[in-house]
Chain A
């Protein structure tokens, strides 16, 4: 079974709108980290934001923020004031201490932002 699931493979929005990308995950660990990455058309993978399971803070970085629902094993990435440069593929990822050197990714959501 997949450990990280991103249901939507594609999404499309207009410039200036807000978008929520959903991700669900499976883990039996108490401590774990969740990450959001953006995969650019150039191939480069860019780190966006991290959520630690033990943190109750609402993580935010610029126009990126997350909604972490630990009991539901769900994390959503919210991108506000979308710009055409936000187009790309967004990946959710899970890290567990029992698999210290492994990062589990979802299948990604491809976002297109129209001007």
Chain B
């Protein structure tokens, strides 16, 4: 069975510090991968998607970057956190696009930037 693992579960970071969030998908070959973010009270926004290793497309500019170093791994990062980066981050995967296959989400990472 396929599984999706996100790490860490929660982070408390200082403004200006670096950040790295990770996501690993096991049991599926060449999935489409996605990063989502929701600020408190805000919409759940898609940040990035990746169709294949090494290729990442940005959807919303939030001074964050993403990389896909391996087929089953998706990394979200920044060198300098802003207060506005606080929120809940979700990684997700699908076999094709999100319309043809349901999106399977991870458990998420709660980020607090102080």
Chain A residues at the B interface, C-beta cutoff of 8 Å: 2, 4, 9, 33, 37, 42-45, 47, 91, 93, 95, 97, 100-108
Contacts and interface: CB of A to CB of B under 8 A. Distances in A.
B62 to A, nearest CB: 15
Interface residues of B, number: 27
A44 B44 contact: no
A2 B43 contact: yes
Interface of B: 6, 9, 32, 34, 36, 38, 41-46, 49, 51, 57, 59, 90, 92, 97-99, 102-103, 105-108
Contacts of B59: 102
B35 to A, nearest CB: 12
Given A33-B99, A100-B97, A105 B44 contact: yes
B9 to A, nearest CB: 8
A4 B43 contact: yes
B51 A42 contact: no
Contacts of A44: 105-107
